[in-house]
Amino acid sequence: MRRPLLVLQHAPWEGPGLVAVAVSHHAVGVPVHTRTVLDDADAALPRASSLAGLVVMGGPMSADDDLSHPGLPAERRLLAEAVQAHVPVLGVCLGMQLLAVALGADLHHRHGTEIGFAPVDVRAPDPVLGPLGPDPTVLHWHGDAVGLPPSSTLLASTSTTPVQAFRAGSAVGLQFHVEVDEELLGTWLGEPAMTDGVDPAVVAQVRADARRTLPGLVPHALTGLAAFVEAVAARA
C-alpha cells in the first residue's frame, strides 16, 4: 500500500486548491488524507516516516495560539519530524508559519497586513517557486510574519514581510497563496470569516486583480506545485 499525502486544514474554506489539481495530474494513485486537528488536544497524527508528503494549509489563527487551538503543537511536532525525515513538506501562509516556528524561528504577531495581489522579490532559485518567474505577482492574505529558520534558505521577501518564502531541506514554506485559482478565491471572498474587517474597497480590488492576474499565474503555479507533488509521488 502506498504512503499517503497528508493535508492539514485549519478552516473549511482554505482547502488545497491547485495542490489537489497537481496531485491529480502528477501523483495518480497516491492517497490523499485531509484532516483538521487544530482543536484536538489529543491529536493523533501519523509518524512522518509513514507519509509520502505533508501539506499544511492556511487559517485565521496564529501559529502559537495553543490555548485556543490545542492541536497546533502536534502539527508543529509533525512538521519538525517530517523535515528531519526528509519528507516533502509544503506549508502555506499559516502552514508556513507553523513550519518556521517548528524549526526554531520567531513568530511576529501583527507584523504587517498584506491583502491582495502584489509582487514578491525572489531571492534564490527553487523548483516550487522558480516557475512563477522573477518578482511574480501573487496573492497575499496575512498579518503575522516569521523570522528565517536556522539553516534554511530565504527564497522570497517583500518590504513588509522579509520572509515570504523559504526552503529547509525537503520543506518549502510560502507565506503567499500559490494554491488559489478563481474558484477557490471566490469561495474565500464569499466567506464572512475572511472578509469581515476588510475594507470593501480592498475586497473589490482583489476581485478585479484576480481577473487580470490568475489566468497567467495559475499555469506557472501548477508547474511549481508539480515539482513538489512529483517528490511526493516518488516517496509514496
Residues labelled as active-site residues: 93, 177, 179
Cα–Cα distance for residue pair 103/164, rounded to 1 Å: 16
C-alpha to C-alpha distances, 131 to 142, 166, 215, nearest whole angstrom: 23, 15, 15
How many other CB atoms sit within 10 Å of the CB of residue 26?
Answer: 18
Question: HEC string of 48-112?
Answer: HHHCCEEEECCCCCCCCCCCCCCCHHHHHHHHHHHHHCCCCEEEECHHHHHHHHHCCCCEECCCC
Query: Would you say 141 and 93 are in contact if contact means Cβ atoms under 8 Å apart?
Result: yes
C-alpha to C-alpha distances, 172 to 129, 160, 186, nearest whole angstrom: 9, 20, 26
